[in-house]
């Protein structure tokens, strides 16, 4: 089933699947490992994590076992992880990358991202530093040159922050990807179009608006129950989650919903046998009211070193 998932050609020359599995907020014992095993067996090849999720080691153990069993080859997988804001200083970037490689038990990372443009000194991200992400980017470029990572990119960056990287002096490797929150209530259309025009692929995380999460405001919109989306889903005989994922695929960006439930993993994969009409695409785009679930993203996108 892996061949059903289309790929995006990155500016680095490598290809990234347009559908992956996110591993955010997976704290139960073996939750991530079981999810990754199920996902790979179903046909997923793109696994998304970060050092701050503390899931890298469990992912690594599971993948190593799957390779040993002959179920997958390392080169068939696309592994994404991120450097945390605590490691933005240039001299911290390579050690952070090597720590992730050791945890994942891998020789290289397919896509390594700067998690947030705003550096910080503590895990709770309450104390920011003055490290310029351009200096961080220069250190990221060296990871590509050393063969530790195949591609590099960013996460939670806005247009102005992307522009600073693209126009920096001596740029060797442009961002291959920008991972940001995208939901029907936050279409990020301007950012998406800018990225497409500049050869930067986009990954949409949290595509459903994080339903059921305790940190989400009670007043936040529920994308999965919005009448427009429910009506479109009924029209195609699909679920609201499938319609939202399909909407993202047709807009040209990759989607990485969190996936631990086997039924949901199968359902999320079943989005390549239908296509939303232009009118339905526009109806969903019209739901954008600028609501951000990830308030931390909002803060980091409004601050950047000049």
- pLDDT, tens digit, 9 for 90 and up, residues 82-130: 999 999 999 999 999 999 999 999 999 999 999 999 986 555 544 556 7
| CB-count exposure of residue 16 (10 Å: 0-12, 13-18, 19+) | buried
Examine the residue annotation and report whether 108 is marked as an active-site residue of this protein: no
CA dihedral 131, 135, 137, 140 (to 10 degrees): -100
Q: What is the mean pLDDT of the chain?
A: 90
Q: How many CB atoms lie within 10 A of CB 272?
A: 15
Between residues 123 and 240, which one has the greater pLDDT? Answer: 240
Please tell me the predicted confidence (pLDDT) of residue 104. Answer: 98
SS3 113: strand
Q: What is the pLDDT of residue 289?
A: 92
Q: What tokens does 33 get?
A: 């490992």
Identify the pLDDT of residue 296.
55
- What does DSSP assign to residue 18? S
Predicted pLDDT of residue 144: 98
User: Which pLDDT band, with edges at 50, 70 and 90, does 30 fall under?
Assistant: confident
> Does residue 213 register a pLDDT over 60?
no
Q: Is the pLDDT of residue 27 over 70?
A: no
CA-to-CA distance for 86 and 52, rounded, in angstroms? Answer: 10
Work out the pLDDT band at 4, boundaries 50, 70, 90: confident
pLDDT band, very low/low/confident/very high, at 24 (cuts 50, 70, 90):
confident
Angle (nearest 5°) at CA 293 between 229 and 289: 55
Given the residues 24, 44, 46, 53, the one annotated as active site? 53
Q: Is the pLDDT reported for residue 218 higher than 70? A: no
CATH topology of domain 2-301: TIM Barrel (3.20.20)
Residue pair 148/109 in contact (Cβ under 8 Å)? The answer is yes
Q: What is the pLDDT of residue 300?
A: 52
Q: Bigger pLDDT: 80 or 25?
A: 80
53 — pLDDT class (breaks 50, 70, 90): confident
Q: What is the mean pLDDT of residues 245-273?
A: 96
What pTM does this model have?
0.92
pLDDT at 302: 52
183 or 30: which carries more pLDDT confidence?
Answer: 183
Enumerate the domain spans of the chain: 2-301
The predicted pLDDT at position 119 comes to 84
Range from 59-68, 132-141, 206-215, 272-281 carrying the lowest mean pLDDT: 206-215
Find the mean pLDDT for residues 58-83. 97
Percent of the chain with pLDDT over 90: 79
Mean per-residue pLDDT for 220-246?
94
The DSSP secondary-structure symbol of 43 reads: T
Token pair 């007043």: residue: 219
């Amino acid at each position: 089933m892996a061949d059903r998932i289309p790929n995006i050609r990155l500016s680095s020359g490598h290809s990234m699947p347009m559908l992956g599995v996110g591993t955010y907020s997976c704290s139960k014992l073996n939750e991530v490992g079981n999810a990754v095993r199920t996902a790979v067996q179903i046909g997923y090849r793109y696994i998304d994590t970060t050092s701050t999720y503390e899931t890298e080691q469990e992912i690594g153990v599971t993948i190593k076992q799957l390779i040993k069993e002959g179920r997958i080859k390392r080169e068939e997988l696309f592994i994404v992880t991120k450097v945390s804001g605590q490691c933005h200083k240039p001299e911290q970037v390579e050690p952070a990358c090597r720590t992730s490689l050791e945890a994942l038990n891998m020789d290289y990372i397919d896509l390594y991202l700067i998690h947030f443009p705003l550096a910080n000194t503590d895990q709770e991200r309450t104390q920011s530093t003055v490290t310029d992400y351009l200096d961080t980017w220069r250190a990221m470029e060296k990871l590509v040159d050393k063969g530790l990572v195949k591609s590099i990119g960013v996460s939670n960056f806005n247009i102005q922050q992307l522009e600073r990287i693209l126009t920096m002096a001596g740029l060797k490797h442009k961002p291959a990807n920008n991972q940001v929150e995208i939901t029907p209530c936050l279409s990020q259309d301007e950012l998406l179009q800018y990225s497409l025009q500049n050869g930067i692929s986009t990954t949409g995380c949290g595509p459903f608006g994080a339903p059921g999460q305790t940190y989400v405001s009670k007043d936040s919109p529920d994308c999965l129950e919005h009448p427009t989306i429910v009506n479109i889903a009924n029209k195609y005989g699909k679920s609201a989650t499938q319609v939202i994922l399909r909407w993202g695929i047709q807009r040209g960006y990759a989607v990485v919903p969190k996936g631990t439930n086997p039924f949901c993993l199968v359902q999320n994969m079943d989005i390549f046998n239908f296509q939303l009409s232009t009118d339905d695409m526009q109806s969903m785009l019209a739901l954008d009211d600028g609501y951000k679930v990830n308030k931390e993203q909002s803060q980091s996108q409004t601050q950047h070193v000049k």
